[in-house]
Amino acid sequence: VQLQASGGGLVQPGGSLRLSCAASGIRVSLYTMGWYRQAPRKQRELVATITTRGSTNYGDSVKDRFTISRDNAKSTVYLQMNSLRPEDTAVYYCNVGRVWSDGSFRDYWGQGTLVTVSS
């Protein structure tokens, strides 16, 4: 299984970026997909998730600014980030996970893409 994230970079405060994460080796339609981030000297935190049915969940700090979406045909999850703030600076990681019928949980992580918000 591979998750390849892209789209990170340097952006000014108030700007926008769109992250993409392409998965291979799994049938993504069976998995919840999501984004997490980790800023320097901080713990990794939830950014957003989207279930197989399209239900979304967002971290409090990104609600109304970020939008997660998925395209199962392309095995890709996206994160549209608007009104970016310096505190959004972090490495962003994509994640896919599912609970199997025996109750076990399995997830996979991408390599991360750096987002820097600075003037």
pLDDT tens for the 119 residues of the chain, in order: 999 999 999 999 999 999 999 999 999 999 999 999 999 999 999 999 999 999 999 999 999 999 999 999 999 999 999 999 999 999 999 999 998 899 898 999 999 999 999 99
- Tokens 């392309």, residue located: 74
Tokens of 61: 């700090």
CA distance 113 to 86: 16
Max distance between CA atoms of the chain, in angstroms, equals 50
> Are 66 and 47 spatial neighbours (Cβ–Cβ below 8 Å)?
yes
Give the long-range contacts of residues 24-30, CB within 8 A, separation 24 or more.
24/75, 25/1, 26/1, 26/75, 26/96, 26/108, 28/70, 28/72, 28/75, 28/77, 28/96, 29/72, 30/98
Secondary structure of residue 29 in the 3-state scheme:
helix
12-24 confidence digits (pLDDT tens): 999 999 999 999 9
> What's the confidence (pLDDT) of residue 25?
94
Strands 90-99 and 32-38: antiparallel
